[in-house]
Amino acid sequence: MSITAEDVKKLRDMSGAGMMDAKRALEEANGDQEKAMELLRKKGIASAAKKADRATENGLVGSYVHGGKIGVLVEVACETDFVARTEDFQDFVRDLCMHVAAANPEYLNPEDVPADVVEKEKAVYKEEVIASGKPAEHADKIVEGKLNKFYEGICLNKQAFVKDPATSIEELTKSMIAKVGENIIVKRFVRMELGQSDEV
């Protein structure tokens, strides 16, 4: 099947991938845009994993104020000042700020949630499982599933991105790593709302 320049452009616009990467993915997927997108996503995640140990000493602190009532600061690190100044990176940081304002995460990652909070949640879930009459041997798996859902609600990197709920912030970051070719780490965030504030 012949891949047209229009096909390649469409996939590039959707994925942010380079021209040759988009063309190869389309050839591998026999012209199927969705399959090609999935291939690019898998390759991006693989390449993001390879970059995870690289030092990130540059980046940006982004800010967003919503209606004078909610203010957000997010620190995002990358490897070079060159990438930090790109429009793609700045848009990414801006999106994160707006996401934090809207989704109100409490922690950055699951490992940041205090152990006593996790244990309390586990105890509640275990009681629910026992009360529902489910077999004891399934309890741990059910509790683990509920705990993962809990993390998706309160941890920034596990949350569904408000502009695209099919993608988590973690996946969005990996896509960005694949796009710019550098390691990117969301370091911390602060969200202030009139009358309250949360800092991570």
Looking at the chain, the number of H-run helices and the number of E-run strands are 8, 6
Burial class (CB in 10 A: 0-12, 13-18, 19+), 98: middle
For residue 90, pLDDT over 90 is answered with yes
pLDDT for res 36? 85
13-21 long-range Cβ contacts below 8 angstroms, 24+ apart = 15/40, 15/41, 15/175, 16/88, 16/175, 16/179, 17/44, 17/178, 17/179
What tens digit of pLDDT does each residue of 177-190 get? Answer: 988 888 899 999 99
* Residue range(s) occupied by CATH 1.10.8.10 in the chain: 5-51
Angle (CA) 104 144 137, round 5°: 160
**What pLDDT score does 46 carry?**
47
In percent, the amount of the chain with pLDDT more than 90 equals 50
Write out pLDDT tens, residues 45-87: 545 555 556 666 789 999 999 999 999 999 999 999 999 999 9
* Location of each CATH 1.10.286 domain in the chain: 114-153
Task: Domain 58-108+155-199: state its class.
Answer: alpha beta
Q: Assign a CATH topology to domain 5-51.
A: Helicase, Ruva Protein; domain 3 (1.10.8)
Q: What confidence score (pLDDT) does residue 49 get? A: 55
**In the chain, ranges of CATH 3.30.479.20 domains:** 58-108+155-199
pLDDT tens digits, residue range 92-110?
A: 999 999 999 999 999 999 9
Amino acid identity for residue 191 in this structure: R
CATH for 114-153 is: 1.10.286
